[in-house]
A and B are shown apart, each in its own frame.
Chain A
Amino acid sequence: MIFEVLAVGLIISAVLALFLEEVIYSVAALAGTFFFVALIFVEYNAIFAAIFTFAAGVGTLAVLFLSGEMLGDKPVNKTSPKRVGILIGAGAVLSLPAIFFSVSGSISADSNIMFGDALWNVRGLDVVLQALVILTIALGIAVVLHEKKRKGGQ
């Protein structure tokens, strides 16, 4: 029951973080997201992960509050309470699959490999994909800097 409540809170705060007009309110909602993630980690006995999430989350939020205040464009219209209500409702609806559906059991009927085992054994794919993303970003920055240098030379 606790997981369901935390899941609903997590999804609602994530939706609010993305779709509120004011950047400062979005960052406040992102703080809620980090808070709920840490609570879920605590519920699953991952205390170390929860503390680390808090520590990293506080740093990220401090930087985001500053950059949001300095760099964020001020919205013309303020977010109405009706829109906030709609966003909370949308978040609650989006959290329904996490509450009512579950992924478990064997991968197929004639296989003894459990889904959790299979998922854990292919974790290396995540690292490879993340490395590809970072490599792409690095290449993009290198290309931009090279173009800038070339134009500066001309």
Chain B
Amino acid sequence: MDFVILSLVMLAIGIYGLLTNRQLIKVFISVELIAVAATLNFVMLASVMGVGLGQAFLILAFSTDTAVSGVILALLVVVSRKYGTSDISKILQTIKDKDESEDEA
């Protein structure tokens, strides 16, 4: 069952990318990698155990993944249009500056 270790490594890479990347698209790619790790473990475990149902459940997993991707992409477009960048640190700085200027006013 080498795939368990493989999916764990993929999960670790995804979580590391999620925590360290500043670009929103890279964050989205990290979420995709985490989803790939989960489906990899699920489908291969079902395949090794001879359970055909595992592949059918993959449809459910991909449907959920696609819905989550849609929400993330929609938020990405809204944030990029509003702040003109997809860099999280720049967006946070803009929000902070705006709050400070509102407090002063």
Contacts and interface: CB of A to CB of B under 8 A. Distances in A.
Interface size, A (range): 35 or more
Nearest to A127: B60
Interface of A: 3, 7, 10-11, 14-15, 17-19, 23, 26-27, 30, 33-34, 37, 40-41, 44-46, 48-49, 52-53, 56, 59-60, 63-64, 67-68, 71-73, 94-95, 97-99, 101-104, 115-117, 119-120, 123, 126, 130, 134, 137, 141
Contacts of B66: 56, 59-60
A72 B16 CA distance: 20
Contact of A126 (B3, B16, B28, B38): B38
B68 interface: yes
B9 interface: yes
B45 A116 contact: yes
Given A30-B32, A67-B77, A120-B46, A99 B25 contact: no
Interface in B1-20: 1-6, 9-10, 13-14, 16-17
Given A94-B9, A120-B45, A64 B28 contact: yes
Interface residues of B, number: 54
Contacts of B42: 123, 126
Contact of A116 (B1, B39, B71): B1
Contacts of A64: 25, 28-29
Contacts of A68: 25
Contacts of B4: 102-103, 119
Query: 10 shortest A-B CB distances, which residue pairs?
Result: A98-B6, A18-B17, A44-B47, A71-B80, A103-B4, A46-B47, A49-B43, A98-B5, A48-B55, A49-B55
